Amino acid sequence: MTTYLELKVPISFEDSWFRELRGLLHGVNIRWQRGFYHITIAFLDFAPDNVDLRPGLNELLNNTVAPAITFDMLDAFASGRYRQVIHLTTTDAPEDFMALVKDIRQFFKAMGCKTQSDFKFHVTLGRVQDPRMNVNKLQDIISQVDLPDITLDLTDVDYRIFKDYGKPLAHWKLDN
């Protein structure tokens, strides 16, 4: 079963900086993310059917303090031919959050899961599918956005099935 663990990020499609970003990229073929913003901690291509990961995740996430993360950068990266991802990120990820991510990913590996890729700290805003664009062009355009520092306490973690419309398997509320 393909699953993922996500940390929800409470931003809005209607935030002024997001409207400015979309305006600068008007006419470019982009599939914008409309809600459900999150940081994917791990995307599991495979999890053994006979293993319930929730008890181990409970141990890792219960009594965990919600990370306060300051998002201060818009960027893009390549994701296949003629496809780029526009994302929100930080230039200073909290060490305790990165340690938690590492612990969770190591737990998944120890339980026999296969993760899709290394962790990349980002919140997907849009997927560009336009052969006229490349990462450098996008970064030039994105750099024009007046992005304020956005500091958020991220309190909600969901474990979901990838297909089946992201059906939740478990939810945790981190301590503030």
- Residue 161's contacts (CB-CB under 8 Å, 6 or more residues apart) are 1, 2, 3, 167, 169
Residue-level pLDDT at 165? 67
Block residue for tokens 């141990």: 59
pLDDT, tens only, 131-159: 899 999 999 999 999 999 999 999 999 99
Does domain 3-173 sit in CATH 3.90.1140.10? yes
Residue 61 predicted with pLDDT over 90: yes
Lowest mean pLDDT, pick from 41-50, 103-112, 149-158: 41-50
Q: Which among 36, 32, 28, 29 has a CA at the least distance from the CA of 11?
A: 36
pLDDT, greater one: 161 or 72: 72
Measured CA to CA, the distance from residue 9 to residue 71 in angstroms comes to 10
Q: Domain map of the chain by residue range?
A: 3-173
| Residue 35, amino acid | G
Predicted confidence band at 59 (pLDDT cuts at 50, 70, 90)? very high
pLDDT, tens only, 73-95: 999 999 876 699 999 999 999 99
Residue-level pLDDT at 29? 96
According to DSSP, the β-strands at 123-128 and 114-115 are unpaired
Q: Return the percentage of the chain with pLDDT > 70, whole number.
A: 98
Measured CA to CA, the distance from residue 109 to residue 47 in angstroms comes to 9
Residue 70 predicted with pLDDT over 80: yes
Average pLDDT over residues 107-124: 92
Q: List residues bridging with 151 in a β-sheet.
A: 70
Backbone φ and ψ of 154, nearest 5°: -100, 105
Residue 49 predicted with pLDDT over 70: yes
Residue 164 predicted with pLDDT over 80: no
Mean pLDDT of the chain: 94
Measured CA to CA, the distance from residue 45 to residue 140 in angstroms comes to 34
